[in-house]
């Protein structure tokens, strides 16, 4: 553990860091590291995002905030972060923070994205932004009004294996892609369910599709580079918990292409996608959590099967760097997105599962 020298200061006051950050505040983001503030002391920030920023090249973490000041100070001390705050408002008021990573429960994404935008902070918000399109429209509008960047934190999009997949598709390795199968499942232990894990609390917008199934939907949209025109879905609900624990959807895309998408807390894997075309199929086994290990893309065609190896990387680091480059460019750089189209599709799938009817989606404006 990194220990602060002497007695720890109250969370609402800046500690000296040996750097005049007021002076740095006058320097363009293009000329210095991007200064991150972390809203939430959740495990994903501690174990993934902060180490990811440090594995990258474009930013530094300068502050963290939690509603519990002791938790924020412990987080800052463990990870050697200069500043800890006992409120999100205090962090947003810090002029030395350029942008924030929001790792809060789903239900809080809209409020704190809007408040961050109003404070002039760029926003990288954990996925999914919301299950309601109206929420994301509000987030997008607030960020647009404040001239700040909003990016939905689907970290897998920034891993080089998916860049390579799109290159192979563009090269015609499997012919015209017509069908996607994407799934992300894991068996959530009963003790976590009984303890009311944040992922199974309906008041926090929990559920299997919100937690992991949304990756499968996002992958289908990425692979087809299009938005669904019609969806139908079924869900397995745990009525005691009040959320879906398994979810399966079928989405139709332009050109009569189809995608089967799944997410579950009731199955021990897998987490992969496969896209098929007239000449063959392409499979990515560890599609969403390859960690820093090398990954493999498998191509199968009549009479042949071969693999393409992709070096390992820290995908959270790639995501953080991509966000900073988007900020410097003044707009989102592909394959990042602000999450509005994702929310519209996600909302339609939930509506179908709840009504038992297919739901058509309007073409994007």
Four-residue CA torsion sign, 56, 59, 63, 64: negative
Strand partners, 360: 230
CB 116, CB 110: distance < 8 Å: no
From the list 7, 121, 127, 351, the catalytic residue is 127
DSSP-derived 3-state class of residue 207: coil
State the first-to-last Cα distance of the chain, in angstroms, to the nearest integer.
Answer: 51
Could you tell me the domains of the chain? Answer: 21-154 (3.40.50.720), 157-360 (3.30.360.10)
Q: Determine the Cα–Cα distance for residues 281 and 117; give it in Å rounded to an integer.
A: 42
Q: Determine the Cα–Cα distance for residues 115 and 193; give it in Å rounded to an integer.
A: 32
pLDDT in tens, 109-150: 999 999 999 999 999 999 999 999 999 999 999 999 999 999
pLDDT in tens, 53-91: 999 999 999 999 999 999 999 999 999 999 999 999 999
Of residues 242, 278, 246, the one with CA closest to residue 262: 246
Residue 145 known to be catalytic: no
pLDDT in tens, 2-55: 222 223 333 333 333 333 333 334 467 777 999 999 999 999 999 999 999 999
pTM: 0.90
24 burial (CB, 10 Å; 0-12 / 13-18 / 19+) is middle
Give the single-character DSSP code of 312.
Answer: -
Strand partners, 297: 284, 308
């Amino acid at each position: 553990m990194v220990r602060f020298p002497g007695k720890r200061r109250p969370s609402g006051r800046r500690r000296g860091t040996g750097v005049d950050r007021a002076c740095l505040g006058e320097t363009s983001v293009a000329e210095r590291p991007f200064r991150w503030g972390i809203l939430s002391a959740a495990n994903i920030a501690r174990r993934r995002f902060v180490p990811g920023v440090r594995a990258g090249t474009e930013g530094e973490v300068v502050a963290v905030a939690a509603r519990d000041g002791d938790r924020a100070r412990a987080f800052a001390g463990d990870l050697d972060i200069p500043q800890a705050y006992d409120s999100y408002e205090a962090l947003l008021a810090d002029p030395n923070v350029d942008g924030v990573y929001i790792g809060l429960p789903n239900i809080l994404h809209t409020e704190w994205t809007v408040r961050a935008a109003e404070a002039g902070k760029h926003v990288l918000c954990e996925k999914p932004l919301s299950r309601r399109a109206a929420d994301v429209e509000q987030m997008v509008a607030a960020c647009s009004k404040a001239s700040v960047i909003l990016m939905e934190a689907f970290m897998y999009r920034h891993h080089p294996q998916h860049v390579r997949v799109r290159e192979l598709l563009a090269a015609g390795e499997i012919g015209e892609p017509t069908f996607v199968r994407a799934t992300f499942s894991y068996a959530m232990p009963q003790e976590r369910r009984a303890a009311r894990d944040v992922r199974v609390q309906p008041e926090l917008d929990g559920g299997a599709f919100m937690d992991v199934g949304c990756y499968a939907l996002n992958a289908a949209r990425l692979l087809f580079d299009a938005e669904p025109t019609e969806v139908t879905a079924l869900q397995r609900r745990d009525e005691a918990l009040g959320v879906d624990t398994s979810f399966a959807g079928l989405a139709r895309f332009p050109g009569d292409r189809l995608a089967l998408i799944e997410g579950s807390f009731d199955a021990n894997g897998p987490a992969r996608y496969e896209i098929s075309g007239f000449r063959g199929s392409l499979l990515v086994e560890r599609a969403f959590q390859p960690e820093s290990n090398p990954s493999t893309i498998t191509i199968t065609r009549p009479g042949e099967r071969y693999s393409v190896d992709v070096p390992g990387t820290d995908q959270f680091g790639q995501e953080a760097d991509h966000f900073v480059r988007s900020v410097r460019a003044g707009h989102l750089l592909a394959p990042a997105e602000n999450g509005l189209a994702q929310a519209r599709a996600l909302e339609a799938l939930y509506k179908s599962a709840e009504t038992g009817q297919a739901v058509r989606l309007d073409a994007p404006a």
